[in-house]
Amino acid sequence: MQTVWKGAISFGLLNVPVKMGAATMRESIAFRQLHKACNTPISQKRYCSTCAKEVPYEQIVKGYEYEPGRFVLIKEEDLDALPVKSTKYIDIVDFIQISEVDPVYFDRTYYLWPEKGGEKPYLILRDAMRETGKAAVAKVTLRNKEHLCLVRLLKDALALSMMFFDDEIRNTAELGIAELSSSVDVRKEETDMAKQLVENLTSAFAPQKYHDAYREELLNLIRAKIEGQDVIHVQEAVPEPSGNVVDLMERLRQSVKVTQKRSDDAAKKPKIKKAPPNEKRQIAKSMPGSGR
């Protein structure tokens, strides 16, 4: 696994030397920009309008624009000298119950594993967190920005989830939802019917049963074009918005009826077997001309 950061977890007077690498990856299909006239890939260049020439990467420096057209230069040694503990450490601030954190705060997740010589303190911290059932709120500096983060257990390893600071979360008050209850009348039987629908659709979370249908159809489209086949587009019916109260109640009843059968059938099925880790990537790998 590629290491994106090296440092240590600061845990009281204990330092746990760790490496950090991305725990997730996006399975997406990338398109290149081509010149329509000749299908040549378009290249992006770093261009200086003053010198009227392309600038190589090694001649690029960082600058902060404090006034329009006026910059202060920032060198790498300036950044390294900043007296902030989180530049070298994942600085644990508090231990909390992870259930206290709303998912809106979470961003990307990374794995943490011990540096050579740091195996024992790593296991001490991991086991202490496992036995107390706690997660750690911490700070770490990456790419010239200090991040709030959460160190937690993910199976047998420690993981670090980047978090948004509280002032980065937009207030729901601007959505105007609070005022809806005074202008929209929701009857108890409607809520009860919706609750039954929720119960019918409730099951244990099994991430392996969800897949990216759009990506699969896009791969089918690309494969068909590579093989010179005609592509048929099927226009699906778009559901109409809910109408009056009678229509809404009838749709709730029909939904409950349909999902009740689904719920009963699901209870009879055996548990889903976990798919092989690379199964989702096999479609792309098997495509003609994939070069993989």
Residue 111: partners with Cβ closer than 8 Å, 6 or more residues away: 1, 20, 21, 22, 23, 154, 157, 158, 159, 160
- The answer to whether 272 touches 211, Cβ cutoff 8 Å, is no
Q: 3-state SS of the chain: helix, strand, coil percent to 5?
A: 35, 25, 40
How far apart are the C-alpha atoms of 85 and 83, rounded to whole Å? 7
Per-residue pLDDT band at 37 (split at 50, 70, 90): confident
- 52-56, 65-69, 80-84, 119-123: segment of lowest average pLDDT: 80-84
- The answer to whether 28 touches 215, Cβ cutoff 8 Å, is yes
Question: Is the per-residue pLDDT at 285 higher than 70?
Answer: no
The whole-number average pLDDT for the span 46-74 is 90
Per-residue pLDDT band at 274 (split at 50, 70, 90): very low
- Collect contacts of 287-290 with beta carbons under 8 A, ≥24 apart: 287/219, 287/222, 287/223, 287/226, 288/223, 288/226, 288/227, 289/226
How far apart are the C-alpha atoms of 29 and 176, rounded to whole Å? 37
The whole-number average pLDDT for the span 207-221 is 82
- The DSSP code for 21 is E
**Tell me, what's the pLDDT at 256?**
80
Residue 190: partners with Cβ closer than 8 Å, 6 or more residues away: 245, 248, 249, 252
Any idea what the Cα angle at residue 187 is, between residues 181 and 193, rounded to 5°?
A: 120
CA dihedral 92, 95, 98, 100 (to 10 degrees): -110
Question: Is the per-residue pLDDT at 104 higher than 70?
Answer: yes
In this predicted model, what pLDDT tens digit does every residue of 146-191 receive, in sequence order?
899 999 999 999 999 999 999 999 998 888 888 887 888 888 888 8
How far apart are the C-alpha atoms of 11 and 108, rounded to whole Å? 22
